[in-house]
Each structure stands twice: as structure tokens, then as C-alpha cells.
Structure 1
Amino acid sequence: MSIESKDLELECNIDKGCDAIDIIIQPRAKDLGEFSVRRTLPTKERKTVGPWIFFDHMGPANFPAGSGINVRPHPHINLATVTYLFEGEILHRDSLGSYATITPGDINLMVAGKGITHSERERPEVKNVEHTLHGLQLWLALPEKDEEIDPAFYHYSSTIIPGTTIEGVSLRVLMGSAYGLTSPVLTYAETLYVEAHMQAGQILALPNCEERAIYVAKGSLKIKDTVIPEFAMVVLSAAEGVMIEATTECRIALIGGEKMAKRYIEWNFISSRKERVEQAKQDWLAGRFPKVVGDEHEFIPLPK
């Protein structure tokens, strides 16, 4: 997904909680025209959770026939995007020649490295009928040693993402290792990404991790006596043995991993070096990024 302004940080409400909780981020929806997103990372109070530096909840959005996702070609550097859908479909194209349709349960991992351009649209047979889109898009900061690697694209079918049931809680390990499962999705640093469905009253023990957070995509849960409402992200402390309890039927995303050094962020560019972000801006203005194969005629201008 592309950002329509230079500043990625949306205004959020921040609350403190019990000793297991660092902060609770309650995002405000941002209208992107055809649909809205809720952004919980980055905020002024919290830039990252482990290697995760960007977290958008897209929709749910209901589109009439002829309307839908239509994100023109735009660039990225020094990061990897991770797209995961609950409902709907997105057509991915990029400057490597990748052409892939992401559907619910799949993982799309696009590694920008030294630079990539991509677009996110919909196939005509989807766009021409009434349809729904609902999902998450996250960005990973690549470790410094990998920031300038060659760009790459990986598509992982839902059929190979491991899942299990723990005390009645259905979950899938999308990236990293947890609950005795290891995802096949490529990682560059210690990374955790788990999706879980819980029914009211169910309890789940969280895996320990250097940094971690839970996003409530549906429903609500509580940690001790602190309730985490729908669409909020709770960033956890380093406390061990943290348990969460669903107060209603809920769907959550657990993210985390190893702490990363400071990153500079502007528009779609993320890097450990400020001068690299400036270089990427000039490269986009000058047309030096490669074009998206099969989608060469449009692009998103650098925001002023």
C-alpha cells in the first residue's frame, strides 16, 4: 500500500495499562477515498514493535461494481511488505515482473531491498461486481546488513501456513515460530506474526519475545483487568507468562520480534540512514526507479 502524505504517523489515543502493558494504541480511521485504514504503527509514541514498523488495518470495505482498490505504482526501499487478507482479493504487480493474486489466508512478502516499484489493484472480474476487501498490511524494517539486498517477491499459499488449536483457540503462525509451529515464510530478523480466533471466555498464553504487541481486529479481550477494545493495539512489556482472555468472540494479530535500531521514515521509504531516504526521494522524482511490468503508465507522485 502507498501512503498519500510524507508523514506516516496517524493521530492515535494512547493509554497506559497494567504492568504487563506498555501502551494501548487506539487508532483513528483515515479515509483514502474508496476505503479507510486504521494505522497503529508508527505513532509518535511508538515507532516499532520488533522489526515491525508499519501496521495498517484495511477495511472492511464494501465496494459497488466498478469500484475497488486501485493503488498506482509507487516505490519502496530497505523494507519488506507483508500482506494478509481476511476477505477479498488484491492483484499485485511489481518491477520484477511478479503478477500474483492474494486471497484470504495467503501471505505476500515483497522485499524492497535496494529498491522496488509495485502496484495493488484488482482483477476486472473482481472489480466489475460488488465485493468486499478486509485485511492487514504490515512493513518490516530489514536489518542493516540486508537493507540493500536485491529486491524479491514471495507468495505463500494459505495451504502451507501452519495452524493448530491451543485450549480451543484456533491459530495460525504466519511468520516465525510459536506454539510448536514454524512458518515457511522467509524472515531476515527474529520475527513473530500469529493470527488467532478466540471465543468469549477463552484464554491464551502468549509466547515470550523481546518485543511484542497484539492488535484486536475484531471483538475485544482483556489482560488482567485491562480491556483491549476492538481496533486497538496493546504493546506489551517484557513480562513473562502473559495471558489474554477474550471478552467477546475476537480475531487478533500477535506481532513481535527482536528490537531494531532507529529507522528514518518518509512516505514509502524506510532506512537506517537518513541520506538513503533523501536519495530515494530524488531517484523517484527523476524516474530512476524501475517501472512495474504491465503497469507502466501511471505512478503516484512524491508528496510535497
Structure 2
Amino acid sequence: MSNVGLILEEKAADIGNFLVGRLLPFRQKRHVGPFVFIDHMGPTKLKDYENLDVGPHPHIGLSTLTYLFEGAVMHRDSLGTKLEIKPGAVNWMTAGKGVVHSERTPDYLRVTEKTMHGLQIWVALPKELEDIEPSFVHVSEDKLPTWSDENAQYRLIAGKFREHESAVPVYSPLYLIEIKAENDFNLSIGKDLYGESALYVLEGEIVDGGETYGTKQLLVAKDAKLCEFEMKAGTTVYIFGGDALPEERFIFWNFVSSSSEKIEKAKQDWINHKFPKVPEDDDYVPIPPAQINARPSGGEKKD
């Protein structure tokens, strides 16, 4: 019997001049554990005149996690951070009460052909930490736990799993695990998972309950403790989840909060240029006109 409770196909989304595949949120599933938003960027081949340019934009109430497979991104934020992220490392920015950042192709790559490929993830903060001071942490590739067995290679990008703990300073119990299969094998890790759990197939195929699932499919488990499936050789999956937060979250544009009033204040503060500035990047990304009067999504009470 399959443990797959929901099958979601990656859907296209536009982030300025870059098309991405959106994994969360979906109408059928607003979040998995504390994970409220996941974009799959690329893989995209960019010409020498094409670049990633996401100008300064604000966040509240969440932490962002950037993880690249290919390419490079220059991160700048209102804390004064200026740092290039490359494949295998993690950028972890906690917005708390409010932060502004930009993400652009580094200067040395702006006139060459390049590839962009990676994940952009939002993790909601616990209610009592939504208004903490913003912060930024860069975790290099060698600080992420990795291990292997005769069938697969594993990397713990964030959180805790078995005896492993990532150096990414998360604020609630969660996990984000990369698994690359070298051979066909049956993977059984449910006893080590907790909370809600989902699986994204980056490439290759998995088989669960006699059904085959492939690239760009997101599978949400009925029960994380029953997470068992067959991985085909050459397959890469990302298993993520954790303890669900007690309260639902409102999401509007780049803001996440347990309070719609806080989101409305953040909206007005951004419109009135009351957020801090990003040094060396004085661009400004306005709230899309079509969203100005939109109501935040989510916010329903749990049963």
C-alpha cells in the first residue's frame, strides 16, 4: 500500500526575469512542517547577456534557505552582508521583524554564459520568534554532514536526522535531506523522521506502492513514520519536513506571519520605504500592483 497522500506537480512561477518551478505552497497543501515555500530554480542556461537579478525585496517572519546545484548568486542584505553562494553551501537568512535582500549574478559572470540551478526555501519561524532581530549565516559545504552506504550518498542540509545535525541554525525541529542513489535499492527511513514529511524527486524515479514517480514531482506522505520506497539508480531526492507549527501562517508576497495585522503593517512599511536599505544596491522591488489589495493566503485555524 502506498504512503503517498498527495502528489503535486511542479508548477511554473515568474520571479522577475527568471522562471522557476514552484513546489510549495499549493492550494491542496500550504506547508509541510514549518516549510511554507519552495522554488526550484532551473536548470537554466543563461546567455552572456542574461542574468539573475532579483532586486532588494523585504521579508518578515521566516528564514530563507538557498542551496545551489549549479551556478553562483551574490547575496546582499540590509545587515550589510555581501557574500557569494556557490553549489553545496547554504545561505540561511532569518528575517525576523524585517530584512531586505537582493540576489544577483556575480559581476564576474555577468558577461559569460552560465547555468543557474538550485532551491530557494522559506521556513516559518515559531510565533514567539517572529519578531527577533534579523541575522545571516553562511554554512560552507564541508560543514554539512555527509555519509554513504553501499547504495546511496546522503547529505543533511538542515536540521536533525538520526545522529546527524546540520550547522544551519534552525529554530524548530525539521530536516532537509539530500539522497543520491548509486544503485536500485529500497530506502526505509520512516522510523527516523518526525512530524510532517514530503519528498521531491529532482531527477530519476522512485517506486512506492507499485506506482512510479519521476522528475519534478512532490509527494506528501500520509505518515512520515511509514516512509519507505524504492529508489532507482541515478535518482536524487530531497526529503523535508518536521514538526508542524501550532498556528497556521498567513502568506502575502514575501511576508509570512501568524498575524494578518503584521503582514498589513509590513506591506505599508515597504510601500512607504520604511524598511532598511541594502548597501551597494539601491534598487527597489515594488509590490506587484495586482497584489496590493489582495488578502494574505492561509491563516485558517487547525482542527
> What TM-score comes out, normalization by structure 2 length?
0.91
Deviations 1:130-176 (A, max 9, x none): 10010001000000010000000000000111100134210101111
Give the equivalent residue in structure 1 for 2:161: 178
For residues 149 and 269 of structure 2, the distance between their equivalents in structure 1, rounded to whole angstroms, comes to 49
Deviates more, 1:277-286 or 1:249-258: 249-258
For residues 172 and 46 of structure 2, the distance between their equivalents in structure 1, rounded to whole angstroms, comes to 37
Q: Report if aligned partners of 1:177, 1:183 keep a CA contact under 8 Å in 2.
A: yes
| Matched AA of 1:68 | N
Pick from 253, 277, 281: which aligns with 1:291?
Answer: 277
| Deviation at residue 203 of structure 1 after TM alignment | 2.4
| Deviation at residue 107 of structure 1 after TM alignment | 0.5
For structure 2, the 5+ residue unaligned runs are: 290-303
SS at 2:244's partner residue?
Answer: coil
Is 1:140 paired with 2:126?
A: no
For residues 83 and 239 of structure 1, the distance between their equivalents in structure 2, rounded to whole angstroms, comes to 24
Alignment of 1:85-96 (within 5 A): 85-96=68-79
SS at 1:72's partner residue?
Answer: strand
| Deviation at residue 248 of structure 1 after TM alignment | 4.8
Q: Report if aligned partners of 2:15, 2:54 keep a CA contact under 8 Å in 1.
A: no
Alignment of 1:50-65 (within 5 A): 50-65=33-48
Give the equivalent residue in structure 1 for 2:199: 214
Give the equivalent residue in structure 2 for 1:231: 216
Is 1:244 paired with 2:229?
A: yes
Q: Report if aligned partners of 1:50, 1:210 keep a CA contact under 8 Å in 2.
A: yes
Q: Report if aligned partners of 1:213, 1:236 keep a CA contact under 8 Å in 2.
A: yes
For residues 110 and 180 of structure 2, the distance between their equivalents in structure 1, rounded to whole angstroms, comes to 29
User: Aligned residue pairs: how many?
Assistant: 286
For structure 1, the 5+ residue unaligned runs are: 1-17
Does the C-alpha gap of structure 1 residues 23 and 101 become closer, same or farther in structure 2, counting only changes over 3 Å?
A: same
Is 1:263 paired with 2:246?
A: no
Is 1:21 paired with 2:7?
A: no
Does the C-alpha gap of structure 1 residues 263 and 32 become closer, same or farther in structure 2, counting only changes over 3 Å?
A: closer
Give the equivalent residue in structure 2 for 1:191: 174
Is 1:303 paired with 2:284?
A: no
Alignment of 1:98-177 (within 5 A): 98-177=81-160
SS at 2:225's partner residue?
Answer: coil
| Matched AA of 1:227 | T
For residues 227 and 198 of structure 2, the distance between their equivalents in structure 1, rounded to whole angstroms, comes to 11
SS at 1:176's partner residue?
Answer: strand
Deviations 1:36-67 (A, max 9, x none): 21111111110010000001100001011121
For residues 122 and 15 of structure 2, the distance between their equivalents in structure 1, rounded to whole angstroms, comes to 19
Q: Report if aligned partners of 1:113, 1:147 keep a CA contact under 8 Å in 2.
A: yes
SS at 2:21's partner residue?
Answer: strand
What is the alpha-carbon root mean square deviation over aligned residues? Answer: 1.4
| Matched AA of 1:231 | K
For residues 34 and 198 of structure 1, the distance between their equivalents in structure 2, rounded to whole angstroms, comes to 34
Q: Report if aligned partners of 2:195, 2:224 keep a CA contact under 8 Å in 1.
A: no
Deviates more, 1:59-68 or 1:86-95: 59-68
Deviations 1:166-213 (A, max 9, x none): 342101011112243111110100011111111351222223211010
> What TM-score comes out, normalization by structure 1 length?
0.91
Is 1:278 paired with 2:255?
A: no
